Amino acid sequence: MTSIATRPESITDRWADITPLRKGPKARISASIARKIFFKVAERYDISVSTDGSPADLVLHRPEEFFNRLGNNGLIGFGESYMTGAWDAEDLGGVLTTLCAEIGDLVPKWMQSLRATYVSRPPKLQRNSEKNTRKNIAHHYDLSNDLFAAFLDPTMSYSSALFDTDSVSTAADVPVVTFEAPVPGSPLEEAQGRKIESILDAAGVTAGSRVLEIGT
């Protein structure tokens, strides 16, 4: 399910904090290993990959960038390479569902056991301790609402929404919600409202109930 074509330009300038591409022998080796693992995974889970622009499940527009980011930054690199346009998928939900369902087995176990030898440990200044915890919490949570408003609904709910079952299809035997473009109305806001109502019903909350809510 993968295809490699060429896009006219990168859009990395849109993402000020995106990880720069790595250079040097170590980066090239990591990219080469990632390439081999990626194509084996694609074959194993029947994900078609095209390197000539022909239709496929996953389209690699800039493969060298994709494998550089994947090999040197793992899952973050996979996501960031999508952000920059290095790869794309017509059925993005289906591709991600297939990969996520088997995420623990995508990398061979023996390679996972070597993780500690090449993944940097957090610096001592970032480790949770009585002294550092308050600073770490502030760094993680004290962000402007502008960031969250960019991808959440007006209620700012950040847990999973409950979409109308009329929009549910399946990918890799897992239910997936799909919408045809253009997306009608405000489906996310409606889905978040539906989720909250279902939770209240399941918990038996009625008028006059006292409720402690954490993390909607």
Distance between CA atoms of residues 55 and 44, nearest Å: 19
Give residue 187's pLDDT.
82
| Residue 38 near residue 70, CB atoms below 8 Å | yes
Looking at the DSSP bridge assignments, the partners of residue 169 are 176
Assign 3-class secondary structure to 99-161. HHHCHHHCCCHHHHCCHHHHCCCCCHHHCCCCCCHHHHHHHHHCCCHHHHHCCCCCCCCCCCC
pLDDT in tens, the chain (216 residues): 444 444 444 455 667 678 889 899 999 999 999 999 999 999 988 999 887 778 899 999 999 999 999 998 888 999 999 988 899 998 998 899 888 887 777 777 766 666 666 566 666 666 778 878 888 888 878 888 888 888 899 988 888 888 776 666 665 566 666 666 666 666 889 989 999 999 999 999 999 999 888 876
For residue 42, how many other CB atoms are within 10 A of its CB? 20
Please give the pLDDT value at position 7: 46
Strand partners, 174: 171
**The pLDDT value given to residue 134:** 85
Provide the terminal-to-terminal Cα distance of the chain, rounded to the nearest Å: 35
A 10 A CB-CB count for 93 gives 14
Residue 155: name the closest of 193, 199, 184 by CA: 193
Q: What is the dihedral of CA 137, 138, 144, 148, to 10 degrees?
A: -10
Buried b (16+ CB within 10 A) or exposed e, 143-154: eeeeeeeeebbe
Residues 6 or more apart whose Cβ sits within 8 Å of residue 136: 126, 128
DSSP H or E stretch at residue 171: strand 168-171
